[in-house]
Amino acid sequence: MDSYLVCYDISNPKRLRKVARTCEDFGYRKQLSVFLVRVSATDFVRLRSRLYDIIDLSEDQVLFIPLSEQGLQRMEAIGRPTDPHDKNDVVMIL
C-alpha cells in the first residue's frame, strides 16, 4: 500500500462534489479539498482514472503527493487537531 495526499482545486461545484465523493471511496478527508489515501498500485490507477473522467482538464487540478511512511508518521497540524490514522486502517472501495 502506498500513501498519497490528494489535493484538488475544482472550479465547478458539481464536479467538485463528484471529485470529493470519489476521493471518499479511496481515503480519508483531512481538509475540505485534501484527502489521505492508502491504496495499492491498482487502486491508485483506478482513482486517477475516475478523477480524470470527472475533471475538466483545462480548468481543474488534482495533485497526488506521494508520502513515505516516515513522512506520514511525522504529519502534524496546527489549529484544529487532525485525526490520526495508522497503517492498519482499511478503506472499502465499492
Annotated domain spans of the chain: 2-69
25 labelled binding-site residue: no
Pairwise CA distance, residues 17 & 3, whole Å: 22
Which pLDDT tens digit goes with each residue over 33-76? 999 999 999 999 999 999 999 999 999 999 999 998 888 788 88
Q: What are phi and psi of 86, to 5 degrees?
A: -120, 175
- The pLDDT, as a whole number, for residue 85 is 63
Pairwise CA distance, residues 26 & 61, whole Å: 18
Q: Of 91, 94, 90, 84, which Cα lies nearest the Cα of 26? A: 91
CATH of segment(s) 2-69: 3.30.70.240
- The pLDDT, as a whole number, for residue 69 is 84
- The pLDDT, as a whole number, for residue 94 is 52
| Residue 73 contacts residue 42 (beta carbons within 8 Å) | no
Position 32 confidence tier, pLDDT thresholds 50, 70, 90: very high
Q: What's the whole-number mean pLDDT along residues 72-87?
A: 75
